[in-house]
Structure 1
Amino acid sequence: MTSKSPYRSFSALFLTTLLMLVAQGSLSTYLGLSLAQQNVDSVWIGAMMSCYYFGLVLGSKLGHKVIARVGHIRAFVASAAIVSACATSHVLTQQLEIWLVMRVIVGMGMMCQYMVLESWLNEQSESSQRGTVFAAYMITSYLGMIGGQIMLSQFPALGIAPLLIISMCYSLCIVPIALTTRIHPAPLQPAPLKILAFWKLVPQSLTAVTVAGMMAGSFYGLAPAYAASKGMTTEQVTLFMSTTILAGLLAQWPMGKISDRIPRGRILRFNAAALTILTLFIALLPLSGIGLIVATFFYGILAFTLYPIASAFANQNVEQNDRVALSATILLTFGLGASLGPLLASTLMQLIGPAMLYAFISCCAFSLFLRLLRVNYTQKQAKRMMEEQQNAQFKMGSGDLVSSPLAAALDPRVDQDVVTAQMRDDDFIATRQQVPAGYDEDIDFQAIEDDYDSLTNTYRTAKTPADS
């Protein structure tokens, strides 16, 4: 059970998260700036980020097995040690192929660490405090990423010093969680994946999650190179990145409140349309200085709120027992999008120019907008057709005799012999005589014959006055 103050109760996990994200936030920017300074092709920079997110996807499966086998703390310690060693290895070699392998391993280790922290917080926070706990976790994560950018700004020439500090943060994040006095959470149970089923159930949400992943992967991996191509110094690049991340942090709470009042599908369409216009302006206009900072601030507000809104939109449309599987599907979808985005964006940047980063993001946002419009229209049409069918099924007749065989019986224009022949099904009687007794206990043939005789007598009684 948690204490009255969730911040104090989970202080060790929050401190671990802060140190871990300081290292992660600065490492991605460091690699992008380092490769840009060496005039390495943009494709390699994009591949670095794609490999990281590909590692996250792989780690989502491996992490469950490791945590179930050795427990949360041991899994976290082992992952942090491996990630720390991979970060330091960038000092030892400039071989880009080896860097790609290291990024995959870092992604796998980071996913295992995320799973330890989030499953721990989710299990041991009380229901009345879970929202507060995870809000604090997200704020801590954003502050850690901003802190990583600030740390990196103190080393304009880059060098090996930032990598050493990054490695130190990855190592030190072990200490709070290793010394915590909290009870260890229960081992994780693998969550089943129902990708196709959820794509049919919540297509708008998963489309938005995919595009949000493509945008996030492209921005974190290639924005430092884009900013460096605009002539920014290391300090200005880190300010550029910090401003975008800070905007995303500040937008989480108010956007969450807005999404509770306005339909989330409508907010997703608005964000997609606004992102299309904003990023197109960034790509086409020669923005620099304060103008570019303001533009990236609004980009952070719109782009970094796509994922939480889409996730909430998906969860409101599924049953409670499907939400664990949905969370696994959302994480996998986001990771796949984030793996693909940097590769495509970096290829365009290499062929056409750095501005294609935001042109690519604009195309992604526009595609998302069109997709959301189409799915929303299709769902509304299907809902309207279902309502019309339901209404048609419950329409009442003009009288009880409209659909009754007596309607024909009471009509003086109908010949009695014709009606009798039509009401008496000779084929049915012949078939009935061939069925063995007791063949189907669910069908009461005697009751059917009695009803028929009663209906015939009623017909004759009703018909006689008309003949007289």
Structure 2
Amino acid sequence: MNLRPLLPLLVAAFIMLAGNGLQGTLIAIRGAQEGFSTGLIGFMGTAYFGGFLLGCVSITRMLSAVGHIRTFAALAAIAASGTLMLVLVIDGIAWVIIRFVMGFCFAGLFTTIESWLNAGVSNETRGRVLSIYRIIDLVAVTGAQFMLPVFGAGGFAVFAVMALMITISLVPVSLADRSSPKPPKDFHFDMKAIWALSPIACIGAVAIGATNSAFRLIGPIYAQDIGLSIASVATFMSAGIIGGAVLQYPLGVLSDLHDRRLVLILTSLGAVLAGLYLGLFAGTSPLSNYIGIFLFGAFALPLYSLSVAHANDHAEASQYVMVAAGLMFCFSVGAIIGPFVSSFIVQTYGPASLFTYTGAVHGTLILATIWRMRMRGPAPAERRGAFTMLLRTSPALARLANGKARKTGGTDGQSTNRADVAKDLNA
């Protein structure tokens, strides 16, 4: 496999993922230091995902109009400027606006990189490139957390470093071998059709967005409120991210063998129990919190990929990207709600209530899944494709993950028995 043409893009992706992974934690910690209320910090998270949603659904038009390099350069320049504005203008309302713009920019940056990667891989190398991309995500986001104890959250330095990272990412993209990849097709999606394919996948994506965004954006406030230092907050957040990576593949393999909805229930139950553990033992010792958040991440973070896999079990190969775009839309809706609601709960009832909130949402997902299991049987084993771990960076990743379509009898990767497919979808 010749990765040399893709190395500049993978380097740029590493920088982008690290910068994005650090900003959520930094905003929460620095906002608290500046005296912003937990509710206002939560609203900043809501604004970010509002901008992210807008970016996901509109960026392909920009790519078609001006191309990948110009799009990336423009968005990176705005994102770097926005990062510096955060430290130059210490004002809650200004931060909300900046975070909205940053959400739009990062959605566009990831869409640009991932559609570019997709244009540069073959079906034979697609799986390996996707695996490398996942490793880059894990290393970048986890490692970025430890920039906080190195540079501190209280000064100018950490914001300057993030702005430098975003700016430097322009270098490998500008010098990449493939300077003119074909712009991706627009991500059209029909929510009515996606709901018909799998109501529980749509419900699950909303619920998971509401809980995972709360963990990423309000989790640092929880960690500080229970007495953890800046270095310990970085370890706390990293433990949750690593937990999600450790169990994601085993849970995916299990869901390939059994009704994915049953695995979804068991995984959601694990997230409820881990949240209960954190709520009961909050602040008792750093180790107990690390164990608790590791378990929470191990069960909560894989739920999105499980939901996408379940929806794909009922979809044709030609619908995979539509499903991915629609479920990312659902995730973003939940992520818009999650930080806002959870922040006010934490502000009113204390830090332990964060995981009471996540437990309630995951519990609702369990009940909804049981209801759907009573309404429709499982997808036949022959309809279940291999589980794919997905990042929630852009719908373009679905093209990278599913570019080699599942073969169920036809040369184009689609089922040759349309009547059987229609029967299955209406079951």
Q: TM-score, normalised on structure 2? A: 0.85
Q: How far does residue 204 in structure 1 lie from its aligned partner after superposition?
A: 1.6
2:149 counterpart residue number: 153
2:140 counterpart residue number: 144
Is the Cα–Cα contact under 8 Å of residues 264 and 303 in structure 2 kept in the other structure? yes
In the TM superposition, 1:325-336 aligns within 5 A as: 325-336=322-333
Look at both structures and tell me which one has the larger radius of gyration over its CA atoms: 1
Question: 1:157, 1:17 → 2: CA distance?
Answer: 24
Residue number among 67, 70, 75 corresponding to 1:71 in the alignment: 67
Is the Cα–Cα contact under 8 Å of residues 346 and 353 in structure 2 kept in the other structure? yes
Question: 1:360, 1:65 → 2: CA distance?
Answer: 38
Q: Supply the AA of the counterpart residue of 2:16.
A: M
Q: Supply the AA of the counterpart residue of 2:327.
A: I
1:235 counterpart residue number: 231
Q: How far does residue 335 in structure 1 lie from its aligned partner after superposition?
A: 0.8
1:373 counterpart residue number: 370
Q: TM-score, normalised on structure 1? A: 0.78
Q: Supply the AA of the counterpart residue of 2:275.
A: T
Cα distance change, pair 64–39 in 1 and its aligned pair in 2 (3 A) = same
Aligned partner of residue 380 in structure 1, secondary structure = coil
Q: How far does residue 106 in structure 1 lie from its aligned partner after superposition?
A: 0.3
Size of the aligned set, in residue pairs, is: 380
Is the Cα–Cα contact under 8 Å of residues 222 and 352 in structure 2 kept in the other structure? yes
Aligned partner of residue 341 in structure 1, secondary structure = helix
**1:47 is aligned to 2:43:** yes
Residue number among 120, 128, 131 corresponding to 1:132 in the alignment: 128
Residue number among 11, 18, 24 corresponding to 1:22 in the alignment: 18
Q: How far does residue 183 in structure 1 lie from its aligned partner after superposition?
A: 5.0
Q: How far does residue 198 in structure 1 lie from its aligned partner after superposition?
A: 1.2
2:349 counterpart residue number: 352
Question: 1:262, 1:66 → 2: CA distance?
Answer: 42
Q: Supply the AA of the counterpart residue of 1:160.
A: F
Task: Note the alpha carbon deviations across 1:124-171, whole angstroms, 9 max, x for none.
Answer: 211122122112112211211112111112134531110000100111
Question: 1:119, 1:326 → 2: CA distance?
Answer: 17
Aligned partner of residue 123 in structure 2, secondary structure = coil
Question: 2:301, 2:2 → 1: CA distance?
Answer: 28
**1:310 is aligned to 2:307:** yes
Task: Note the alpha carbon deviations across 1:89-146, whole angstroms, 9 max, x for none.
Answer: 0111111101000000000011111111111222321112212211211221121111
CA RMSD of aligned residues (A): 1.9
Aligned partner of residue 21 in structure 2, secondary structure = helix
Residue number among 272, 297, 321 corresponding to 1:324 in the alignment: 321
Aligned partner of residue 100 in structure 1, secondary structure = helix
Question: 1:154, 1:47 → 2: CA distance?
Answer: 27
**1:118 is aligned to 2:109:** no
Q: How far does residue 31 in structure 1 lie from its aligned partner after superposition?
A: 1.0
Is the Cα–Cα contact under 8 Å of residues 207 and 361 in structure 2 kept in the other structure? yes
Which structure 2 segments of 5+ residues have no match? 381-422
Q: Supply the AA of the counterpart residue of 2:309.
A: A
Question: 1:375, 1:261 → 2: CA distance?
Answer: 19
**1:196 is aligned to 2:192:** yes
Aligned partner of residue 146 in structure 1, secondary structure = helix
Aligned partner of residue 155 in structure 2, secondary structure = coil
Question: 2:9, 2:231 → 1: CA distance?
Answer: 30
2:249 counterpart residue number: 253
1:38 counterpart residue number: 34
With a CA cutoff of 8 Å and minimum separation of 6, indicate the structure with the bigger relative contact order.
2
Residue number among 160, 165, 168 corresponding to 1:164 in the alignment: 160
